[in-house]
């Protein structure tokens, strides 16, 4: 046996995601690189770890046992790294954050300086839709979550980081008929929605319901990037967070369409369970944000103020 730590990590991620493609995305590796490492790892065993039926990969019972052992080994390696850093007097441990998909344009900027100050900290940031973010928080699987709509049935505490603004957005070359009545205007547009479970979708539907709008033409896409590409192609219009379309506005590839009742304003809030017992790492991050959030917002998002 001559397998490497890298091969153990790759195999464990494949088991967790049930997909070579998803594993490569989460590990920030190319799919061929992951496939090669999986093959090299499997070649060291006489019993198959996986089997492929059609285009889907399945983990064998033996493969699952190996994955359990791999997880223990990786945890021990992390423990060695933590103890080494701690011996040097550095803050060590993991910081786990779940972020709604559009929050990927926000959260990294509030993490960068903190992570540079504490190289012994390992970051796990899961980017997904609002429903899954809240589930991970409720199950106490993460230290914090970043949302733009606060959960109603969960006892939480919060720290507001940045205002969230949502505008009606479309292709600048697609003609729009001017109508003073908001209801008439929207009912004439092909609208593009995010998937169910998305916070942006929830905000958009709330606006539509409040204005008693009947949506006749609509399209549903599963990511903010997919919606943006559809808008760029002229497939329709959508209510989108300003944070994700800075470059497209600057390059005149998208336009904001002035409309009564818009923009919708919420806050990007870091939230955590009210009874949460913070680790030294998460407590240090919270203290860092309380001191630095305003300067980070001003330095990084000053462009935001002109809209």
Tens digit of each residue's pLDDT (9 = 90 or more) over 161-187: 999 999 999 988 876 766 566 777 777
Q: What mean pLDDT is predicted for residues 54-61?
A: 89
| Residues 154, 143: Cα–Cα separation, whole Å | 15
Domains in the chain, start-ordered, CATH in brackets?
A: 5-87 (1.10.10.10), 93-162+267-306 (3.40.190.10), 164-266 (3.40.190.10)
**Which token pair is 20?**
């070579």
pTM (whole model) above 0.85: no
- In the numeric block, the tokens 């509030």 are attached to 110
| Residues 149, 36: Cα–Cα separation, whole Å | 42
Quick check: 191 pLDDT over 70?
yes
Q: For residue 297, what pLDDT band results from cuts at 50, 70 and 90?
A: very high
Cis before 271? omega within 30: no
Q: For residue 66, what pLDDT band results from cuts at 50, 70 and 90?
A: very high
Q: What mean pLDDT is predicted for residues 132-149?
A: 94
Max CA pair span of the chain? 73
Displacement of CA 287 from its chain's centroid (Å): 23
**Which token pair is 181?**
């009545």
Whether the CA torsion 22, 23, 29, 32 is positive or negative: it is negative
């Amino acid at each position: 046996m001559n397998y490497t730590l890298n091969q153990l990590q790759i195999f464990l991620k494949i088991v967790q995601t049930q997909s070579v493609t998803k594993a490569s995305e989460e590990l920030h590796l190319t799919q061929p690189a992951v496939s090669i490492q999986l093959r090299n790892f499997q070649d060291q065993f006489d019993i198959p770890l996986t089997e492929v039926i059609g285009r889907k990969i399945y983990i064998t019972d033996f493969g699952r046992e190996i994955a359990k052992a791999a997880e223990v080994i990786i945890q021990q390696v992390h423990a060695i790294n933590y103890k080494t850093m701690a011996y040097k007097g550095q803050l060590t441990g993991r910081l786990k954050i779940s972020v709604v998909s559009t929050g990927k344009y926000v959260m990294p900027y509030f993490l960068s300086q903190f992570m540079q100050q504490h190289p012994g900290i390992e970051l796990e940031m899961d980017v997904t839709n609002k429903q899954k973010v809240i589930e991970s928080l409720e199950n106490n699987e993460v230290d914090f979550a970043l949302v733009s709509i606060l959960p109603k049935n969960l006892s939480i505490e919060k720290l507001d980081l940045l205002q969230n603004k949502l505008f009606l957005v479309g292709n600048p070359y697609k003609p729009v008929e001017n109508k003073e009545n908001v209801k008439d205007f929207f009912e004439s547009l092909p609208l593009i929605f995010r998937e169910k479970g998305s916070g942006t979708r929830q905000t958009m539907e709330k606006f539509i319901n409040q204005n008693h709008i009947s949506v006749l033409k609509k399209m549903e896409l599963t990511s903010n990037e997919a919606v943006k590409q559809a808008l760029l192609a002229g497939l329709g219009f959508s209510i989108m967070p300003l944070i994700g379309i800075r470059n497209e506005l600057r390059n005149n590839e998208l336009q904001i369409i002035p409309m009564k009742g818009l923009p919708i304003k919420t806050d990007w809030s870091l939230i955590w369970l009210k009874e949460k017992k913070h680790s030294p790492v998460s407590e240090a991050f919270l203290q860092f944000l309380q001191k630095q959030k305003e300067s980070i917002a001003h330095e990084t998002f000053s462009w935001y103020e002109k809209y």
